[in-house]
Amino acid sequence: MTAKTQERITFIFSLPKMKNVFLVGDFNRWKVGADPMQQVSNGSFRRSKKLFSGRYEYKFYADGIYWQDLDAKAQTINSCGARNSVVTVG
């Protein structure tokens, strides 16, 4: 039996002057508030998560607006016709 391993992924939101930024996605059932991001000295926001191997869709929720990750390696269209960012682990 193979043990499942997790990989630490760091998400970065670089739009300055935001006050409340959260990471939302498949990994937290899109629950705003589950993963608050921390602002760092350069003004960007960061959040690290340990994720199992797989494909995850996500966005940033900043000051009441959903934002895609412009630095993500992949994007996809969600069921509402908007873009989600994609991260693949493993």
> Domain ranges in the chain?
6-89
**Cα–Cα distance measured from residue 13 to residue 38, given in angstroms and rounded to the nearest whole number:** 10
**Cα–Cα distance measured from residue 50 to residue 5, given in angstroms and rounded to the nearest whole number:** 9
Q: Which residues of the chain have pLDDT under 50?
A: none
**Which pLDDT score, from 0 to 100, does residue 88 have?**
96
Q: Taking the complete model, does pTM exceed 0.95, yes or no?
A: no
**Cα–Cα distance measured from residue 75 to residue 63, given in angstroms and rounded to the nearest whole number:** 22
| pLDDT one-digit tens code per residue, 4-28 | 789 999 999 998 789 999 999 999 9
The beta strands (E) that lie in the chain are given as 6-13, 21-25, 38-39, 45-52, 54-62, 65-67, 74-77, 83-89
| DSSP state, residue 30 | T
Fold of 6-89: Immunoglobulin-like (2.60.40)
| DSSP state, residue 70 | T
